Each structure stands twice: as structure tokens, then as C-alpha cells.
A and B are shown apart, each in its own frame.
Chain A
């Protein structure tokens, strides 16, 4: 007897998305199951972030159905966060634990502090805890933001262009970190990228977003298919 595929953590059924009068994506079907690492690939402006945000519940869909509401840990594009805030890296990472109101100086808040320190340490950012977030380098910020997402104890870790704007050395340090976190914490991941050379070894599945449509499937087959390999010829 064939093994039945596990229930998806989140399922998109015939979903259409857009802004104002513009329809960005139509008829999207996507199942994300536990343990999978999805690469959401496509050109700039193709709708990758739109798809990601709809899964996170940040933008309303035009039509279709999203089934499942897993706990997300979200790593946004770091440039979006204003460096003027006088927040330490610990303060930023601790935001992952702000799921509900807690009284100041309560016992739950102290327990949350231990979780945050552990997440920072797991991301190699333990020594950055007291440093001002706005003063960190791009790679250091990314580690803190991943720690923040982990502090939310996510079922799905969602990363929006995690390697954009970081140098090669930092990329080479972040990728093993993501692989290690995936193994150690049995994470499911969704990662937006407009280039794939660095991340492709990490993906188990790929969603290719182009001209308002989404093609998806196992990474090996998708990356070998003519369409993606032609476009990313130099990278592959």
C-alpha cells in the first residue's frame, strides 16, 4: 500500500492576489508540508513577496481559499526595519515572544528571556545581545532576525530574501546556519529569492512565479526544467 502524504501545514486552493485594480497572481495552488523547504523564485516584481504575505495573512486574497493557520516565524527584508529605534539585538529578538500581553516583571516574561537568549545563541548572535540593532552589519542583523523568528516557536520559518544585500562570506555563513537550524529544529521553511545559486541546495521544493502564474513541485525536477534553467543559466 502506498504511504499517504501527510496533511499540509498550509494549503492554497485556487487563490488570486492583487493590489488595487491590479491582479498579481491567479489560480495559485500550493501545499506546504512539515519538513519541506520551499524556494519561492521569480524575477523582481513577479509577485513572490505578495504570495508570501498572503500566506502570512498580511494581505487579503481576491479569491480562493487558504486552509491551515500554522504558527509563522517571519524574517522580513532587513532594510525595512528603521535603524533609528534604540533597540538592542536582544530587544528585537524578544519581539518573537510578544504573541500576547504580559505584565511587566512577570514570571512568563523572565521565562521568555531564556528562550530569546537560547535562540540568539543558536543563530551565533549570543554575543550581539546587548549591541544596538541599528549599528549591526547586514549579516549580524540577519542572524538576529532569524533568532527573533525562532523565538516565536514557529511551525514554518518564513524568510524574505535572506541573502540579499549580504556579502559572499556572510552568505557562506548563513546558509549552513539555516541548514543546521532546519535539521536541529525540524523546521519547515519558505524562502523568497530572486537568485538561486546560493540557496538551491537547501530547497526540497520550488515554486516558480512568473507572469501571474505559479508552477510548483520538487526542487530537482523544477530546477532542471527548461524554463528555470534558461533564466538562471549563469547561476546554475
Chain B
């Protein structure tokens, strides 16, 4: 070990290098206003968190699997949209739940060291949440690849118009890549036990499988529509038998996308209050209180909007109610 050089003891080595150019920590007057400093810290922290996310082996493996699945499926015309298009949700979104959880949980043991820094815990959570833009970017890339390859044409998309087709894919491919990591981060902020992670993943997986299975059997039933859309991920059509026949399900793709985005917001706002105190905590809880009814409203609109009943489209182009 070497003693610090004379003159560096009192922050001399730090001169002009901290956010706002403060001399060590002592020259408070020379720093810019607090919000500017807080934003600079958040940006720097988000860059570090993004690097942690990208270098996570799970992310690399998930990305490779998503890319491989999409590459093999998009080389041929698609008869069943649901299968290949769920690859990014599975390999970027669901894997993102685990990555977000582990990134957040990895710092738990260090909490006493980190808590006595000037940056509060919600800023760390916010930075981790900003890092979720990394998988979201790859989700957006996947979406653009699908749009560029398929041009959203063909009978596989049922009775939906181009805008609804894009909306459905945006929710399934891009938003799920954002929502997964946000859910993982929020969960880890409140539940530290490792077993919580598989429970969350399994609950979501089993629920989506169950309600989608019901929708295959009862595509026209209103309660089934409500159950199907009460999930972070949903299908809007199916191709029974794979013979060109497509059933377009009930529900509004646009409002469902809104519901998905609102769920992302809820996940973000659920994680941020951890460690927040005073007015900041009150503001966060206030925002949560506002977003909650908006989310419920979007869910109701997604359920009652869209087609009044399921429609079956046959290979010849004819359509009849299910």
C-alpha cells in the first residue's frame, strides 16, 4: 500500500472531476444545481448497468436463441404467426425477468456500503430500469426484422388490418422485451429470496398457457377474452390444423398494447419506492396511485374493444363468425 501523495488528501486528486466539477466533496458552492448532478449520476449509472446487462451470459444466450429461431422461421412464408413471433418474448423478455432479478439482487449484500453514498437507492433502481432499454432495443430490432421480412401480409394475420397487425407484434415482440426485465427488477427490490424468481416466471408462464388454451377452445367467450387479456402477453389469432384456416380472436390490440405499457410503468413504479424517503416516496406512490386506475381502464377497454365476436377465415378468403 502507498500513502496518498500530499495534496490529494483533501480531495485534491478529485479536483474538477466529480459531477459538477466539485473539489472533492467540499466545494458545494461550485457544483451545479442538484437535479443536474442527479441526472449526470443517473446517466453514468445507467451506462454501467447497461454494460452489466449486456455482459450477462443469459442475455447473450437468449439473444442467440432468439436470433436463430427468427432466422430459421423467417426464411419461409409463415402459416402460424404465433410460434416464431413469440421467440423474442421468450428469449429476451422471459430471460429478461431472470436477468433483471439477478442484476438487482446481486447488489443486496453490498447495501450498507452503497446506502451511505449520496446516491439514494431509487436512483440505482431507476438506472437498472433504464438498462432494460437494452433488451427493448433488441426487441425493437426483432420487430423491424419481422416487418421488413414479412411486410405483415398474408392470411396468417386473420382479419386484422395493417395497423392492428403492427400493434399486436409491437406488444408481443418489443414491449415484452422491456416488461420482462422491469418485472424482474421490481420483484428483486421487494423479495430477496431466490425461489421467488422461478415462482414468478412459472406463474406467468402457466397463466398465459392456461388462458391461451381456453381461448383456443372458446375464442368467442367474453369471460375467456377477459382472462386471456389479463396477462402481460396475449395471442390474437390462431391457425387450427395449419391448413390456412385462421381464427381472429376478440379484444382490442391497441388498448392491449396500452395495457402492456401500463404494466411496464407499474413494474417501474413498484420498484422505485424501495429505499425512497420523504417527498420522493410520496411522489412515487402518488404516481402509482394514478397509473393503477389507468391500467385497469386500459384492460377493460382492451377486453370490450376490437371484434364483437371471433371470426374464422378460410383459405378461399371467406369469413364467418366462430
Partners in one complex: no
- Residues on A lying within 8 angstroms of B by beta carbon are none
